[in-house]
Structure 1
Amino acid sequence: MAFLYIKALHIIFIVTWFAGLFYAPRLFIYTMEVYEKEAEPARSILLEKLQRWTRLLWYGITWPSAIITLGMGLGLIFTSSYQDNMPSWLWIKIGFVTALYAYHLACHGMFKKLQRGEQVWSSQKLRFWNEVSTILLFAIVFLVILKNMVSVLWGLLGLVVFTVLLMLAITLYKKIREAKG
């Protein structure tokens, strides 16, 4: 029974962690657009608000959720039958989750720079970066549901196609925005 409670909490905190991972880079984009497009005094006012919103999101939701997700994930492994013989799909999932934590830490570096008033990447580059968590979410969910290496390979191929289409859509969106002025 403890396993099911841990699993439920794991899923809940995955959702809240991803909420932060989806929205924080969006706030990074808005911040960089303020640097790129706004003049004073609007720039200072907007930057102060964006820094505050990002700080509240990052430390109030994203970091706590990442830590609790990790704890619940480890709890699932230790309360499951996988302790002695973890299946290959679970090792691959751990690899994707490790990549997700690396993404989180990279976002933390950007967050710290933006909090100090330093600029990071352009808003366009951040738009691409913003999709990394989406791609990792797709990979992890398909892997957990399918638990089959052949299906995972097809899923990864689909993920690559999805990624290419996503990047094309972002580029097209930028061209449309620029054409509208």
Structure 2
Amino acid sequence: MYLYVKAIHIIFVVSWMAGLFYGVRLFIYHTEAQDKPEVERNVLTAEYVRIEKRLFNIIATPAMILTLLAGITMVYFDTTLMRANWLIVKLCFVAGLVAYHLKCQSIMEDMRHGKYKWTSFQLRLWNEVATIFLFAIAFLAVLKSAVDWLYGMAGLIAFAAIIMSAVKIYKNYRVKKGIK
């Protein structure tokens, strides 16, 4: 039974991450739509509000809940997991990902009410935070080593720096080419 629950856990992790990645991408487009002429802006804004709400209410949030429930069920079936240091570290990253998800919902609510506190560039950087959480969680789950997590953190920081640099380089490229 444990392996079936583990498979369900993986499936919903993938769904949750897809929802988060796509959701923040929609936030970027939603923010950029505010620079369009009024008629186009109004149509796009209404559509983005509708899509974002559906994405979070129908896919991302249920997938998050089912991911967490499947994870708890896995621990229920194998209580020795709670003594594994790597799992404690992983759960800290999972808590961070849940906080990330909740912040995304807050950003979505603000935008729905016409409050655009983030630039599209800031949202592009924010989108990469989920990638960093994903890498940390996946490596901990696969390697099952809290001892090596210090090396992993160093690698994660380097990875984050590379991703953030890539976003900055892409922004400069877009500005140079006049791409919105």
Report the TM-score range of the alignment, normalised by the length of the smaller protein: over 0.9
Equivalent of residue 76 in structure 2, options 72, 78, 82: 78
- 1:100 maps to which residue? 97
1:153-168 aligned within 5 A:
153-168=150-165
TM-superposed deviation, 1:154: 1.5
What percentage of aligned pairs have identical amino acids?
42
Equivalent of residue 136 in structure 1, options 133, 142, 145: 133
- 2:38 maps to which residue? 40
Structure 1: stretches of 5+ with no match in the other structure: none
Is 1:89 aligned with 2:73?
no
Q: What amino acid does structure 2 have at the position aligned with 1:141?
A: A
- 2:116 maps to which residue? 119
Deviations 1:58-84 (A, max 9, x none): 11100110111111110011111426x
Q: What amino acid does structure 2 have at the position aligned with 1:44?
A: N
TM-superposed deviation, 1:149: 2.9
TM-score, normalising length from structure 1? 0.94
**Which deviates more from structure 2 when the two are superposed, residues 145-154 or residues 134-143?**
145-154
For the residue of structure 1 that corresponds to 2:80, the secondary structure is coil
**Alignment check: 8 A CA contact 2:89 2:146 kept:** no
TM-superposed deviation, 1:39: 1.5
For the residue of structure 1 that corresponds to 2:137, the secondary structure is helix
- 1:50 maps to which residue? 48
**Alignment check: 8 A CA contact 1:33 1:123 kept:** yes
- 1:152 maps to which residue? 149
**Which deviates more from structure 2 when the two are superposed, residues 155-164 or residues 111-120?**
111-120
Is 1:21 aligned with 2:36?
no
- Residues in 2 aligned to 1:134 and 1:178: alpha-carbon distance in whole angstroms: 24
Equivalent of residue 65 in structure 2, options 64, 67, 72: 67
TM-score, normalising length from structure 2? 0.95
**Alignment check: 8 A CA contact 1:32 1:120 kept:** no
Counting matched residue pairs gives 178
TM-superposed deviation, 1:56: 1.2
Runs of 4+ with deviation above 4 angstroms? none
Q: What amino acid does structure 2 have at the position aligned with 1:78?
A: Y
For the residue of structure 1 that corresponds to 2:16, the secondary structure is helix
- Residues in 1 aligned to 2:138 and 2:87: alpha-carbon distance in whole angstroms: 12
- Residues in 2 aligned to 1:101 and 1:180: alpha-carbon distance in whole angstroms: 37
- Residues in 2 aligned to 1:136 and 1:77: alpha-carbon distance in whole angstroms: 21
Structure 2: stretches of 5+ with no match in the other structure: none
- Residues in 1 aligned to 2:147 and 2:118: alpha-carbon distance in whole angstroms: 37
